[in-house]
Amino acid sequence: MNIKNGLISFRPLQEADLPLMHQWLNTPHLSDWWNLDGNHHPSLEAVERKYPPRINGLEPVDCYLMYYDDKPIGMIQLYRLDEFPVEKAMLGLDEGCAGVDLFIGEVDYVHRGLGSGIIRQFLGEMVFTDERISRCIIDPESGNIIAIKAYRKAGFKYLKTIWNDKEKVHAHLMVINRDEIDL
């Protein structure tokens, strides 16, 4: 598949998308790095428990499907660290910091050079449009070299390695500032 110059867009995650999320979360390229509550092969029921509170605004995490032209290819989520004071204090971060997590779920779109462009577009359109946010973090597992390269290419810089007690892994904490993105 030759992927060039497709239109990237984002739309809020909906409950009707949860079977697709379940499918993606159980693909081999994702299950190595992404899990739900410690499970690298979550059931549909687990997906249906995890995401509705975010979809319905009951949890302060905004989830979006990523589209390449008209095809959903993955998920990206945004959270403001001020809403998670324990994590913010543990990371030693200032006010005005957001975090993002993402994955490309469609196998045909993985390793095609899309990640860094998707991230930069999301930062410009969704993250830094909130004037309260001055910096953004991302925290891939330290062994996820492909993700780290994509985030570095998007402009994120290494901040420090941290122990993620919830996931029981070392994370490669990276940061990008508002003034490093063309708005």
* pLDDT above 70 (res 183): no
pLDDT of residue 1: 45
Question: Among 101, 121, 127, which residue's Cα sits nearest to residue 6?
Answer: 121
Stretch 149-176: mean pLDDT, rounded? Answer: 90
Q: What is the mean pLDDT of the chain?
A: 92
Taking the CA atoms of residue 147, residue 27, residue 110 and residue 17 in that order, the dihedral angle to the nearest 10 degrees is: -100
Which among 157, 161, 155, 149 has a CA at the least distance from the CA of 180?
Answer: 155
- Phi, psi values for residue 158, rounded to 5°: -60, 130
Q: Is the pLDDT of residue 5 over 80?
A: no
Label residues 72-110 b or e (16+ Cβ within 10 Å = b).
Answer: bbbbbbbbbbbeeeeebeebebeebbbbbbbbbbbeebb
Q: In whole angstroms, what is the distance from residue 47 CA to residue 63 CA?
A: 13
pTM score of the predicted model? 0.92
Once rounded to an integer, what is the mean pLDDT over residues 13-36? 94
What confidence category does residue 3 fall into, taking pLDDT thresholds of 50, 70 and 90? low
pLDDT value at 25 more than 70? yes
Model confidence over 118-132: pLDDT tens digits? 999 999 999 999 999
Q: Which domains does the chain have, with CATH numbers?
A: 8-180 (3.40.630.30)
Query: Cα(11)–Cα(1) distance, rounded to whole angstroms?
Result: 24
